[in-house]
Amino acid sequence: KNQVEQSPQSLIILEGKNCTLQCNYTVSPFSNLRWYKQDTGRGPVSLTIMTFSENTKSNGRYTATLDADTKQSSLHITASQLSDSASYICVVSEGSGGSYIPTFGRGTSLIVHP
């Protein structure tokens, strides 16, 4: 069964600090891995997309890494801001040849305190 596990479940950090969120998956065959940011009461917003051949992707202060051998990904947030407070969701898609069947993690809830 395809699974995506995220850790920690929740995280509290001070403004300006860095943090790293983890994602382990057992989805096969692997197509791509995405990280989303979801503010409370809103829809998810895409941060990064990585395919099998990519092992790092940056979007501003967000940097995602992918190790396809160990089936792990991380999302690193640099110099956190209050607006980074949100749920961060790891999504791994199954398939090849354009098929799209995603498995979502439960998310890491990040709270940034001033």
Partner 1 sequence: NAGVMQNPRHLVRRRGQEARLRCSPMKGHSHVYWYRQLPEEGLKFMVYLQKENIIDESGMPKERFSAEFPKEGPSILRIQQVVRGDSAAYFCASSPVEASTDTQYFGPGTRLTVL
> For binding to partner 1 (CB under 8 A), which residues are involved?
4, 31-32, 41-46, 49, 51, 89, 91, 93, 95, 98-107
Q: Is the dihedral of CA 87, 22, 93, 33 positive or negative?
A: positive
> Which residue is it, tokens 């640099």?
78
- β partners of residue 50: 33
- Least distance (Å) between residue 44 CB and partner 1: 5
In terms of CB distance, is 37 or 65 closer to partner 1?
37
In terms of CB distance, is 43 or 60 closer to partner 1?
43
> 3-state DSSP: the chain helix, strand, coil percent, rounded to 5?
5, 60, 40
In terms of CB distance, is 106 or 113 closer to partner 1?
106
